[in-house]
Amino acid sequence: MAAENRKKRYKILVVDDEKRIVHFIRLNLEHDGFDVLTAYDGSEALKRVREDLPDLVLLDVMLPDMDGFEVLRLIREVSDVPVIMVTAKGEEEDIVRGLELGADDYITKPFSPRELVSRIRAVLRRYELANQVMHDVVEVDDRLKIDFDRRQVWVDGKPIKLRPTEYRLLYHLVKNAGWVLTYEQLLRKVWGYEYRDEHHYVRLYINYLRQKIEEDPSNPKYILTEHGVGYRFVDFRQNRSEEERKQPETKDTAA
C-alpha cells in the first residue's frame, strides 16, 4: 500500500461545456487516482494549460467559443502536453484532422469509464516512454542523422521537429533496421496493447515520418513498406559495415 501511495498523481484537464459530462468524468477519474482540472470553453482551457501544467488534456471537439481543433492548434504552439480528443461523431475525417494537428488519441462518445481510463493510461505511458533518454547517436547516411539521447533529428544538416509518438515510432524502426515490424508489433511497442487493431494509426504516423525525413516521400528509401505485413527501416548498418570493410587500413587505431 505504501508503494501505491508513492505513485505520481497525474493531473488531467477535462475540457467540455456539458457540466453533466464533466461531473461524470471527474468522478470516475478521481476514483482511479487522478487529479482533475476542468474547463468549460476553449479560452479557459488554454489558460489552464499555461498556468496549471496538466499531464494530459481531455478535449471535447464541440465547445462554445472555439472548436476543439482550434484549441488544440493553440495548445500545440506552447506545449506538447498529451491531448485526447473527444468526439460524438467518430467520423474518420475528424479523427485524422485531430491527429494531424497533434492530438495523441481520440475517444468517441458515449464511452465507458473503463475505456476512458485505459486510453488515458496508455497515452501517458506512451508519452513518458517517448521522453525517456535513448542513449544512441545514429548516422543513417550522409543525409539523415538521429540523436536519440537529445531527441534531435537532422536532415541535410538541418534539425527537424518530431512529436513524441513520431520519435517513439522512429526509434523502434531504427533499432530493428533490416527487420520487418508488423502493424501489431508497432502498435504494441509505440501505442500499447490497447491499440492492437488500430492499423490506421501506424499508416498515418508512417506518412508523417516520411514527409519529414524522406527526400521523396512517395518513393521512400528509409521506411519501406512490406505490403500486407508492416514496415521495415533500411538496413543501413549492414551497408556501412560492407563499405568499411572495403576501406584500406592505413594506420593503427590510436590509444
- Where in the sequence is the domain holding 31, given as residue range(s)? 10-130
In a domain, 251, yes or no: no
Q: Is residue 3 part of a domain?
A: no
Query: Predicted confidence band at 127 (pLDDT cuts at 50, 70, 90)?
Result: confident
Residue 248 covered by a domain: no
- Give the list of residues 6+ apart from residue 91 with CB closer than 8 angstroms, or none: none
Q: 146 CB contacts (<8 Å, ≥6 apart)?
A: 136, 137, 138, 140, 152, 153, 154, 170, 174
User: 230 and 118, same structural domain?
Assistant: no
- Residue 168's pLDDT is what? 87
Helical (H) or strand (E) element with 233:
strand 230-233
Overall number of domains in the chain: 2
Cα–Cα distance between 214 and 151 in angstroms, integer?
Answer: 18
DSSP character for 215? S
Residue-level pLDDT at 241: 42
Please report the pLDDT score of residue 244 as a whole number: 41
Strand order in the sheet with 137-139: 137-139, 144-147, 152-155, 158-160
Half-sphere exposure of 251 (CA within 13 A, CB side): 3
130, 160, 190 - which closes a domain:
130
Name the band, by pLDDT with cuts 50, 70 and 90, for residue 100.
confident
Last residue of a domain, one of 83, 109, 130: 130
CATH number of the domain where residue 188 is located: 1.10.10.10
Say what the pLDDT of residue 89 is. 65
Residue that is written with C-alpha cell 484532422 in the block: 97
SS3 label, residue 65: coil
Is 252 domain-assigned? no
Query: How many angstroms separate the CA atoms of 234 and 221, rounded?
Result: 7
pTM score of the predicted model? 0.64
The predicted pLDDT at position 234 comes to 92
pLDDT tens, residue by residue, 130-178: 666 555 678 899 999 998 878 889 999 999 988 888 888 998 899 888 8
